[in-house]
Chains A and B, each alone.
Chain A
C-alpha cells in the first residue's frame, strides 16, 4: 500500500512508527474519544451489544496472534476463555479476591493452559493441530465439570458483582468502560507484539516452518510463546465475559464459539489487527440481524425457518468469504482506501 501524499519516511523511527501522519493520530484519538462517549447517547441495548463485541475483540486479537500471525490454528479458543473465566470467577466467588486481581490471574491461567495444550504443536501442524485444539476445548470443559466442588460443575458458579476501587461495575455504562479499556489495551498490545522480534519470528514460522528453523528461529520457543500470548488474551476475555454475565457456566463457552472466532478472523482478514476488529463487528452484527429478523421470518414462513436462519446465514457468510473474498474485509478496506487516495487518477493505482 502506498503512503498518503506528502508523507515520507526519512529515518528508521518514522518507518517503524505506528501512525505515520498526524491525521491518523487524530483519527485514532477521535475514535477512542467517541468510544468512551458512547454511554452518553446510546441505549442500554446498544451498550450491551458493544460490550459483547468488545469482549469478542479481546479474544479474537489473541487468536489472531496465534493463528493469523504464527499460523498455529486453534479451534479451542473458547475453551481457553473458559479457563480464564472460571479461574477469575473462582478467585472472586470462593476466595473473595477483588476483581482487579482476579482478572490477570485468570488471563495467566489461560496462558498456562495454552502452553500445556500448545505442546503438541511442536510435533504437528495443520489439521492435526486443529484436532489437538478441539480436544483441548472438550477436555477443558470436562475438567471444569469434574472439579465440581470449586467450579460448581454443570450448575455453574455465581460470581459476585465486580468492583474496582470501590466503583461498582454493575451498571452497563461502567462495565462498558471497563471492556473498552481492555479493547484499546488489547489492540495496542496486539498491534505492537507483531512488530517485535517475537512477532517477526511468528510470521516466519507461519510462512514456512522449516525455513524459519533453518534461519535460526527457535520453533520450540516461539510456538509456545504464541500459544501463551494468544491464550492470555482469551483468558482476559473469558474473565470479562464471566464477570459481565455475573455467572460462570459451561454453556457460555461452547465449541461452536471457538469456530466462530476463527470465522471472524476469516471474514475480517487474518493477520491484521484491524481485520480482527472488522471480523468481530461483521459477525456480531449478522448475529443481531438474525435475532431481530427471527420472529419476522417465523411469522412469515415457519418457526423452524427462524431457528435455521442463524446456522445457515453464518455458514453461508463464511463460504462466500472463502470463495470470493479470502483475504477478508480488511483487504477490501485497504483497496477502497487506496482507490480514494488516488481518485480521480485511479489508473495510477499500483499495489
Chain B
C-alpha cells in the first residue's frame, strides 16, 4: 500500500509539471492554430537559464526567476516575429516543420551557450523531506505544484478579466471577426508565444532543480503532447487534469510492470501508448470539442 501511495504522490507531482508545459502548448494552439513542437525546448532553455542565473550569476531565487521570465519574454517575441509570422495561413505540415526547425535551433543555441553540459543546481531549491505517514513528498514537487497552481491562476485571470485575454479567446473563435472589430491578430499571436515561452521556462527551472539542466530536458515536451491530447487540445483545464492523470498512471504502470517486463523503461513510453489510445478512440480528448469538417 505504501508503495502504491508513494507512486501516486510522485505521479501527481510529476503530472503538475507536465500540465504546466502542456498549458503553454494549448495557449498557442488556441490562439493561432499552431502546434508548437518546440514547447519542450523552451523547457530546455529554462533549465539552463535557471542554472545561469542561480549558479553562474548567484542571484537570489526571486531575482533569478524574474530574469528568466524577462529572457523568456524576449525569446517569445523574437520567435513569433521572425519565424511564425511568415507562416500565417500556411499548411499544417509547413507550420509544424517550422516549429521543429525552431526546436533544433533552440537546441543548437543551448549547445552553443552552455556546451551541452550537464549543469546541476541541486542545493539551491530547498530539499526538505516532507513525510506523511510512510510516504515521502519531494519538496521540489511541492514547489512545482505551488508554482503550477499560481501560473494557472494567473492565466485564468488573464483570460477571464483582461482585454487581451478576451481578444485571445476571440481570436481562437474566429480570426476574421476579430480582425473586423479592430483587434490586431499579430498582437494576440505575440502575446500567446510570450506566455508559452514564459510557462515553458518556469517549467524548465522547476525540472532543472530536480534533475539538473541537460539536453534531454527537451524530451519532456513530447510527453506533454500526450497530456494535451488526453485533455483535449483546446482546453486549459483539461490539460491540468490530464497532466495529473497521466503522471499517476505512468508511475503506477511503471512501478508494477517494470520489474515484470524484460526490458523495463515503461515510464518513458507510457505517454505514447496513451496518445495512440486517445487518438483512436477519442481524438478530441476528454474535454476538447469535437470538430466537424465541411467542404
- A–B contact with Cβ pairs below 8 Å: the answer is yes
Residues of A at under 8 Å CB distance from B?
Answer: 67, 73, 117, 119-120, 123-124, 126-128, 130-132, 134-136, 138-139, 142, 145-149, 153-154, 208-211, 214, 259, 262-263, 266, 302-305, 307-312, 314-316, 318-319, 322-323, 326
Question: Nearest CB to that of A139 among chain B residues?
Answer: B272
User: Does B56 reach chain A (CB closer than 8 Å)?
Assistant: no
Bound-state CA distance A145–B263 (Å) is 6
Cβ–Cβ contact A318 & B97, under 8 A = yes
Residue from A67, A128, A139, A208 with most neighbouring chain B CB atoms (10 Å): A128
Cβ–Cβ contact A139 & B269, under 8 A = yes
Cβ–Cβ contact A314 & B262, under 8 A = no
Beyond A134-B222, A153-B263, A262-B97, whether A210 also contacts B108 by CB under 8 A is: no
Least Cβ–Cβ distance between A306 and chain B, in angstroms: 9
Cβ–Cβ contact A124 & B107, under 8 A = no
Question: Nearest CB to that of B106 among chain A residues?
Answer: A315
Beyond A131-B279, A311-B111, A312-B108, whether A214 also contacts B94 by CB under 8 A is: no
Write the B76-118 contact mask toward A (1 if CB under 8 angstroms, else 0). 0000000100110010111011101111110111111111100
Residues of B at under 8 Å CB distance from A?
Answer: 35, 83, 86-87, 90, 92-94, 96-98, 100-105, 107-116, 222, 225-226, 229, 233, 261-263, 265-266, 268-269, 272-273, 275-276, 279-280, 283, 293-295
Cβ–Cβ contact A319 & B295, under 8 A = no
Beyond A214-B295, A319-B101, A322-B97, whether A312 also contacts B262 by CB under 8 A is: no
Beyond A308-B108, A322-B101, whether A73 also contacts B280 by CB under 8 A is: no
Q: Which residues of B contact A308 (CB under 8 A)?
A: 108-112, 116
Beyond A120-B280, A127-B92, A319-B83, whether A149 also contacts B272 by CB under 8 A is: no
Question: Nearest CB to that of B280 among chain A residues?
Answer: A120
Majority DSSP secondary structure for residues of A touching B:
helix
Q: Which residues of A contact B105 (CB under 8 A)?
A: 311-312, 315-316, 319
Bound-state CA distance A315–B279 (Å) is 29
Beyond A142-B268, A305-B112, A307-B111, whether A131 also contacts B104 by CB under 8 A is: no
Least Cβ–Cβ distance between B30 and chain A, in angstroms: 13
Least Cβ–Cβ distance between B262 and chain A, in angstroms: 5
Residue from B222, B279, B295 with most neighbouring chain A CB atoms (10 Å): B279
